Structure formats: C-alpha cells, structure tokens
Amino acid sequence: MISPVLLMAFLFLVFLCINMPVAVAICLSTLLTATLSMGAFDIAAATVAQRMATGVYSFSLLAIPFFILSGLLMGQGGIASRLTDLASALVGRFPGGLAFVNILSCMLFGAVSGSATAAVSSIGGFIIPEMERKGYGREFSTAITITSATTGLLIPPSNIMIIYALVSGGMVSIGTLFVAGILPGITFGCLLMLVAGILCKKHGLGQAEPQARMSLWAAFRRAFLSLLLIVIVLGGILKGIFTATEAAAIAVAYAFLLSVVLYREIPWKNIPDILLQTGVTTAVVFLLIASSMAMSWILTLEDVPQQISSLMLAVSDNPIVILLLINLLLLMVGTFMDMTPAVLIFTPILWPVVENMGMHPVHFGIMLIANLCIGLCTPPVGTCLFVGCGVGKTSIAKVTPAALPFFAALLVALMLVTFIPSITTWLPGLFGML
C-alpha cells in the first residue's frame, strides 16, 4: 500500500503543476490523504477542517493583518522617497553610489513596511528608471532591487517571523525574533553592497550622485518620522509596553497618521481600496496558514519529522554536513514554494534534527527565514522576481544572469548566519531575551 505521505506529496506536486493555488493544493492533497488514512470522507473532512480552524486560532496572528495594512499605507504614503533621500545622503557620494542607494533604500523601506514585494514596487518604481538613465543598465538595476528587498523580511517587523513564532509552539517570542533578525539583515545588505561596489568599479558604472550633496541632517529630518516607526515597534516590545500584536495595531495608526494626515500622499477616497487589498492579502495568508497546519498534522501523525531526523543523522553526525544539507533542502524548497507554507510545513520536520545538535530555536528560525528569502528572488516562482521584472519592464531570462553575483552574496551571508550563531543571538542576549 502506498505511503500516505508519498501520496500527499505526489498530489501536492500534481496540483501545483496544473497551476492550482498553493493553499488549495495543500488543502486538497491533505484532505485526500486523510480520507485514505481514515477510510471515510466525512470523518477526514471534519478532522481537516478542525485542524485548519485550530491553526489560525491564535491571538498572535492578529498582528499579520495590521502589519499588512501598515505596509500598504507606508508603500503608498510617500515614505519611500524620504528614505531614498536619506540613503542618498548617506552613501550617494561614493562611485556607484546609486547602486548603494538602491540597496540601503530597500533595507530601510523593507524594515518599516515589513514587506519585500512592497519594497520592490515602491523603491524600484522610481530608482530603476533613474539607474537606467545613468547608465547602470535595466537588468543590473532590477537585479539589485530584487535581491536587496529580501533584507526587509529579516529586519523587523516581519510577518514571516510571526508565523515562525506561532509554529514553534511557544519556544520563541515574536519580540525575540524581531531583535534577532536585525544583524542578519544588515549582514545581507552589507554583502550586497560589497558585490555592487565591486561590479560598479569593474564596469565603470555610476559616479557620485548629485543628491548626495543634500545635507545629511536635512535628509535625516525629512525621514525621521518614517524611521521612528521601527523605534516605536521595537522599543515598545523590548520595554514591555505592548505585545507584538499591539505594536502592529500602533504601527497602523502611526502609518495612517503619516501617510494620510501629515504627508497627505494618500487621499481619503483611496482608503477603502487599501482596506480591501489588506483583507484579500490577509485572507490568502490565513488560508495558507490553515491549510499548512492541517498538512503539518498529517506529517506529524505519520512520524515524518522523526524519520527525516533519523535519516539525516544516519548520513552524517557532523553538524556542519547536516546544516549544509538543511540549507540545500530549504534553498530547493524556496524555489517553488511560498515562504508561509514552507515555514509552517518544514519547521516541525526539521526542528527535531537541529534540536539534536543543540541549535537554538531563534538561530534556526532566522536561518530558515534567510533561506526562504533567497527563494523570493529565484525562478520559477520567486515573488520578488516577478514583481521586480514587472516594475523594471524586463524579463526573468534577462534579469537572472545579472542577479547571479548578488545570489552569491546572499549565499555567503546565509553561510555566515548559519555557522556564526552570534550574528543571530548576540542582540537578543544583550537585551536578556534568550
């Protein structure tokens, strides 16, 4: 008789191949597998539905729609241009400075919005044409934007960290993950800047930008209120003033105040559309969470985490080899699966493996997220890749070769995060959060 897990994996891949939405593919493959295991469709349907409902029954998940809404308000509220001016004042004076401005702007905007795709569309929308006009090349400019936008998922606030905290079963708090992601996010950004600087010098791209003559103090004052969001969210969590969920609600109020009332970049008539977009995005994310939790239940029921742990430990008992195998697996998963289901499905599978090695759950979570961030900018289903090519008016086939040096930088950063735990754990330890 065929193994239920193999059947579920086969059905899931078949459903993906016929372009079925990921959440629906997960749900149907789980339901059909549960029906085979239980022998009755009605019992399987009731059980899967119960697991799905339980999967989204968490107060912490309320932070997700709030951060989605604050990200949309930030994306449309004039925040991007202010952060780009600040980035230009900081690094625009260097040769190839506009490439540095692009990376730093994506890091800053990703940090305040918590969304990689928002960073690609908001920053890329005006900086890619500007870079092309100054001779950097459309594909090169697009590649920089796509890869640097992923740093925003490591630098808090980040929805995917909330999901990992949920699936970890209380092993780590959202606030601890937020603090732990700061140095890894900066590491990724700095290595991208290093590669960009080498390529710009090698090919003679870019001179010091005129915007760099803007006073750093003037640019900082213009962007100060936008940057203050990070201080409010992290500072409030670290001081115990509010929870991560309450911080998300405060972020919405603050983003609304800036974008609609103070900057007046978003007219009141656009608010219903933004709320509708928030609702749609939230529904998609929550359906992914619910269906993935049901699939994780099947995997746990079939003892898959323990089997994979035994298999990996049978291959080698060397922690370096095991971590390399885990990274390779996650990089492959990230190329064809969205981050949310990947975190929900593979966290319980891989955790027993790294737990046996004594790896801290915070370190593992950041490593997991960093792996899947790279998948956002790789074909065939990288979300940032598709959005970036749309914004840059180019194709995946043209952008991918230009992005290869930046992929290499991301991989080096991933190895540093994987094998130097202090990059992840130092800041949380400094604040007594570990």
Query: Does residue 211 register a pLDDT over 60?
Result: no
Tell me which residue of 83, 430, 426, 126 sits closest to 228, measured CA to CA: 83
What values do phi and psi take at 263, rounded to 5? -80, -30
Q: How confident is the model at residue 209 (pLDDT cuts 50, 70, 90)?
A: low
Return the sign of the alpha-carbon dihedral for residues 264, 267, 273, 276.
positive
Q: How confident is the model at residue 210 (pLDDT cuts 50, 70, 90)?
A: low
Q: What is the pLDDT of residues 72-89, one digit of tens each?
A: 888 787 777 788 778 878
Tell me which residue of 2, 5, 1 sits closest to 307, measured CA to CA: 5
Q: How confident is the model at residue 206 (pLDDT cuts 50, 70, 90)?
A: low
Query: Does residue 170 register a pLDDT over 80?
Result: no
**pLDDT value, residue 417:** 95
What is the rounded average pLDDT of the residues 107-128? 79
Query: Does residue 408 register a pLDDT over 90?
Result: yes
Return the sign of the alpha-carbon dihedral for residues 225, 229, 234, 236.
positive
What is the C-alpha to C-alpha distance for residues 29 and 13, in angstroms, rounded to an integer?
A: 9
What is the rounded average pLDDT of the residues 133-157? 88
Q: What is the pLDDT of residues 22-79, one digit of tens each?
A: 788 888 988 888 888 787 888 888 988 998 888 888 777 888 888 888 888 887 877 7
Alpha helices in 20-150 (DSSP H): 22-38, 41-55, 63-76, 79-91, 97-113, 116-133, 138-149
Instruction: Pull the structure tokens for residue 80.
Output: 């991007």
**pLDDT value, residue 271:** 92
What is the C-alpha to C-alpha distance for residues 246 and 268, in angstroms, rounded to an integer?
A: 25
More confident residue, 368 or 168: 368
Instruction: Please tell me which of 73-87, 137-151, 301-315 the model is most confident about, judged by mean pLDDT.
Output: 137-151
**pLDDT value, residue 207:** 63
Q: How confident is the model at residue 96 (pLDDT cuts 50, 70, 90)?
A: confident
Tell me which residue of 89, 79, 78 sits closest to 219, measured CA to CA: 89
Query: Does residue 356 register a pLDDT over 90?
Result: no
**pLDDT value, residue 364:** 95
pTM, two decimal places: 0.85
Query: Does residue 214 register a pLDDT over 70?
Result: no
Q: How confident is the model at residue 367 (pLDDT cuts 50, 70, 90)?
A: very high
Q: Which residue bears the tokens 């579920």?
A: 8
Q: Which residue bears the tokens 């359906």?
A: 287
Q: What is the pLDDT of residues 260-271, one digit of tens each?
A: 888 888 899 999
Query: Does residue 91 register a pLDDT over 80?
Result: no
**pLDDT value, residue 409:** 95
**pLDDT value, residue 2:** 60
What is the rounded average pLDDT of the residues 385-397? 85
